[in-house]
Copies of this chain bind each other. A is one copy, B any other.
Amino acid sequence: MWQIYLTLRYNGGRTLLSDFNITIVGLGLIGGSYAKALRRNNPRNLWAIDKDQYTIKKAIDLNVIDECESMEKVLNKTDILIMCLYPEDNIKFIRENLTHLNKNLVITDVCGVKGDMVQRINNIIEDSMEFIGGHPMAGREFNGFDYSDENLFMNCNYIITTIPENTEKNIYKVKQIAELIGSNNIIMTTPRRHDELVAYTSHLSHVIANAFVNNTNEEANDFIGGSFKDVTRVAYLNPYLWSKILINNKENVLNEIDKFEENIKIIKEALKQDDMDILCSQLESGRIKRKEINLRCSH
């Protein structure tokens, strides 16, 4: 009992993040949700940088972030920088602000495709700094801070991409953050493998939803049920962002489209031949795979 009491006293008021100043760059849907989720965990200071000063003011007024000093001072005092811009803009921001960055800075990001961003940022930053890629697999169909939600990352898969330059100590920090904002499944991989896998699980879903919904029309809209709504939901996306993502990952995406088309071909052939056996076995195989996902995700 005495030991427990001591432990409690020692940690009283402190949290896992209370030693760190954290700054989020880009306070949109993901950056804003990140800030709200981190806020619950009381980092020493939580700051944000956004080109829209109105959003910054709103986030301060809502007590989501702390009052900011000058950007230079903020960057200088920041221990962990969470980049929530497009890949190119992440690189640009780091390049332009390199002289202001804390020498022991850990940088992470939230990009859905890593491409050569990880290597390029690593080439820019000083040896004492570290970039560790991150990808919380959660999102909404709306954009902007106003739609951000402190529970957006609850129970999400969170991919952390590492390169040989990364250290255990700093990888652990990013893992802790992923857990604290709500992820219940943190996966470690390389940037390259990340891009190969999300080309299938995320990017192809968006391609399919788009290609499917693009054939709809007024008449068909009266004939939709749950299946149509489910399959097309992610067609409501940010076209510019998603064009960037798909082009940045085009080789993997094209490869996944080919594999998907192979499966469509099997179904087409089975239909043409009235082959109940093959059709049934394809559907059964898909049912089993989807059931496995139901069991893992509880929905």
Q: Chain A interface (Cβ within 8 Å of chain B)?
A: 137-139, 156-157, 159, 185, 187, 194, 197-198, 200-202, 204-216, 219-237, 239-240, 242-244, 246-247, 250, 253-254, 256-257, 259-261, 263-264, 266-268, 271-272, 274, 276, 279-287, 289-294, 296-297, 299
Contacts and interface: CB of A to CB of B under 8 A. Distances in A.
A235 B279 CA distance: 13
B202 A233 contact: no
Contacts of A201: 216, 220, 223-225, 227-228
A198 B222 CA distance: 10
Contact of A287 (B235, B263, B284, B290): B235
Contacts of A205: 212, 227-228, 230-231
Contact of A285 (B159, B214, B240, B287): B214
A242 B283 contact: yes
A272 B285 CA distance: 31
Contact of A271 (B139, B194, B247): B247
Contact of A216 (B222, B289, B294): B289
Most buried by B among A200, A222, A225: A225
Contacts of A268: 254, 257
Q: Specify the main secondary structure of chain A where it touches its partner.
A: helix
A67 to B, nearest CB: 34
A279 B247 contact: yes
Given A200-B215, A205-B212, A207-B267, 14 more contacts: A139-B226, A201-B220, A205-B231, A209-B231, A211-B264, A211-B267, A213-B289, A221-B296, A229-B297, A229-B299, A237-B286, A247-B274, A254-B271, A254-B272
Given A137-B224, A223-B202, A243-B279, A232 B293 contact: yes
A247 B271 CA distance: 6
Nearest to A244: B276
A222 B276 CA distance: 32
B290 A235 contact: yes
B293 A221 contact: yes
A12 B242 CA distance: 59
A211 B137 contact: no
Nearest to A256: B215
Most buried by B among A156, A227, A260, A272: A227
A192 B284 CA distance: 28
B223 A294 contact: no
Contact of A282 (B139, B210, B271): B210
